[in-house]
Structure 1
Amino acid sequence: MDYIMTTEQLTKKYKNFTSVNNVSLHIRKGSIYGFLGPNGAGKSTTMKMLLGLTAPTKGNFTIDNKQFPADRISILKEIGSFIEAPSFYANLTGRENLDIIRRILDLSKTDVEDALDLVGLTEFGDRLAKKYSLGMKQRLGLAGALLGRPPILILDEPTNGLDPSGIHEIRNLVKSLPSLYNCTVLISSHMLSEIELIADDIGILNHGRLLFEGSMNDLRQYALQSGFTADNLEDVFLSIVEKDNTERKRRARL
């Protein structure tokens, strides 16, 4: 299997709290990998470790055959990221905001226009960022991640706070990216109903532990083998998480 990103027993502890607990991910090149879990499950912390924003307590990861931390700078040059709500200079235009990022990354001026075109913001590039709708701001955040067409994208809940129309818009954009320029996407969410429409593979995280990893068909098979109904995968996801929560409570009482 051609994996572009793998983690091995990745762990992050804060004093007496374990945010990420021995997580081993396997992300196929050219795929969309849906990273699922309730709020606080450890998804964002995992992504921040992959981006070098926080150091793992234990474990390691490899991205495009490069090992962290030895190849940290080389790894970061291959990743475009969207972590939490994007922030912009309100009194600059969308195009000017992207140009700041472009200069930091030492990219060509044409990359700004390319990114605006990818997210459908070309005609709004000269509008001030403070006049963008929430959906347009999310798209501008994605444009920042797409500058230079990096081979790997890490997107942390990019549809957060959007209305159904905005969710549909961003979802379709993300779904199109691997075929547009052969990239790999790691995208987090707490809603399987959203992820199942775009993801090739998924990982389910709860209280920092990876409960499931595989394709959508693997999840359906897992559901049947575990006695769940496979008709509604959102219910399967919730059932897997609830089962884990129940077992955690039982262990805590022992």
Structure 2
Amino acid sequence: MNIIETKNLTKRYGDFHAVSEVNLHIKRGSVYGFLGPNGAGKSTAMKMLLGLTRPTSGSFTINGKTYPENRIAILKNIGSFIEGPAFYGNLTGEENLEIVQRILGLPSSAVSEALEITGLTKAKKKLAKKYSLGMKQRLGLASALIGKPSILILDEPTNGLDPVGIHEIRSLIRSLPEKFDCTVLVSSHLLSEIELMADNIGILNQGKLLFEGQLEELKDKAVKLGYPVDHLEDTFLAMIDADNKERGNLQ
């Protein structure tokens, strides 16, 4: 069963199509990898799902509820991490989460649980401005997780991390559906990252969805189209390059 579905979801800015007639099918309890080069429209699509920007046309449903009629009910079940976390630097990690906890009307135990899940318990009394980039990313995840939402929307959560930090965040994300019975939509511009944590993927380029399905299906499609398949990153890049060339020929 799909927990998120979009139908011809489109966002235009004048003549520019940031997202063009995108149809996503995200299964309940899965990790869905949203893949595409920088500027492909991933963040814009995520912002539409979060009600942060209104679609120009098209529609979507989340957990059986349609937008915008059920906007508030939809958002109550979503935790998000978009364009890097923002915190009060002069407050501790724990104090930053306590603000979120009070806004959401959660019990105080939610803060300690979120810190434990993201491995920040020992650093909870440290000022957020003194956190490393990896710790800040973890605090962003803790903020998204604190209410134990049924859906998590995470935009490039491993961006800027070293290999150890990437591995830790990736392992955490992979574990979330089983731990919390939730669904994760996570974006990246690196297929090598997504293939290690996602059940299904969607590939976006210049606002257009080029592929949706499992990684094995991507390999099958690549073989038929004559793309390299020894390394999936090469497959992804070949698909993007072919689409860019096709668009160039159409102009």
TM-score of the alignment, normalized to the shorter chain, above 0.5: yes
Gaps of 5+ in 2: none
In the TM superposition, 1:204-243 aligns within 5 A as 204-243=203-242
Matches of 2:16 and 2:102 in 1, distance apart?
Answer: 39
Counterpart residue number, 1:105: 104
Verify the 8 A CA contact 2:228 2:238 in the aligned structure 1. Answer: no
Matches of 2:194 and 2:55 in 1, distance apart?
Answer: 27
In the TM superposition, 1:112-127 aligns within 5 A as 112-127=111-126
Counterpart residue number, 1:10: 9
Matches of 2:245 and 2:147 in 1, distance apart?
Answer: 46
Verify the 8 A CA contact 2:2 2:28 in the aligned structure 1. Answer: yes
Matches of 1:250 and 1:29 in 2, distance apart?
Answer: 39
Counterpart residue number, 2:58: 59
Matches of 2:107 and 2:120 in 1, distance apart?
Answer: 18
Matches of 1:17 and 1:148 in 2, distance apart?
Answer: 36
Counterpart residue number, 1:188: 187
The list of structure 1 runs, each at least 4 consecutive aligned residues, that deviate by more than 4 angstroms after superposition, is none
In the TM superposition, 1:163-178 aligns within 5 A as 163-178=162-177
How much does 1:234 deviate?
A: 0.5
How much does 1:105 deviate?
A: 1.2
Matches of 1:228 and 1:246 in 2, distance apart?
Answer: 14
Normalization by structure 1: what TM-score?
A: 0.97
User: Which letter maps to 1:215?
Assistant: Q
Matches of 2:14 and 2:249 in 1, distance apart?
Answer: 24
Matches of 1:9 and 1:107 in 2, distance apart?
Answer: 36
User: Which letter maps to 2:84?
Assistant: A
Output the aligned Cα RMSD. 0.7
How much does 1:243 deviate?
A: 0.4
Counterpart residue number, 1:25: 24
Verify the 8 A CA contact 2:150 2:181 in the aligned structure 1. Answer: yes
Verify the 8 A CA contact 2:227 2:239 in the aligned structure 1. Answer: no
Counterpart residue number, 1:142: 141
Equivalent pairs counted in the alignment come to: 251
Counterpart residue number, 2:84: 85
In the TM superposition, 1:66-81 aligns within 5 A as 66-81=65-80
How much does 1:229 deviate?
A: 2.8
Normalization by structure 2: what TM-score?
A: 0.99
Matches of 1:147 and 1:94 in 2, distance apart?
Answer: 13
How much does 1:231 deviate?
A: 1.7
- Alignment deviations for residues 132-189 of structure 1 (CA, whole Å, 9 cap, x no partner): 1110000000000001110100000001111111111111111111111111000000
Identity of aligned residues (%): 63
SS of the residue corresponding to residue 166 of structure 2 reads helix
SS of the residue corresponding to residue 43 of structure 2 reads helix
User: Which letter maps to 2:10?
Assistant: T
SS of the residue corresponding to residue 33 of structure 1 reads strand
Matches of 1:235 and 1:93 in 2, distance apart?
Answer: 43
- Alignment deviations for residues 206-230 of structure 1 (CA, whole Å, 9 cap, x no partner): 0000000001111111111111232
Counterpart residue number, 2:156: 157
SS of the residue corresponding to residue 89 of structure 1 reads coil
How much does 1:194 deviate?
A: 0.6
Q: 222-231 vs 36-45, which deviates more?
A: 222-231
- Alignment deviations for residues 112-149 of structure 1 (CA, whole Å, 9 cap, x no partner): 11111110111111111111111000000000000111
User: Which letter maps to 1:65?
Assistant: G
Matches of 1:56 and 1:29 in 2, distance apart?
Answer: 23
SS of the residue corresponding to residue 19 of structure 1 reads strand
User: Which letter maps to 1:134?
Assistant: L
Matches of 1:20 and 1:108 in 2, distance apart?
Answer: 39
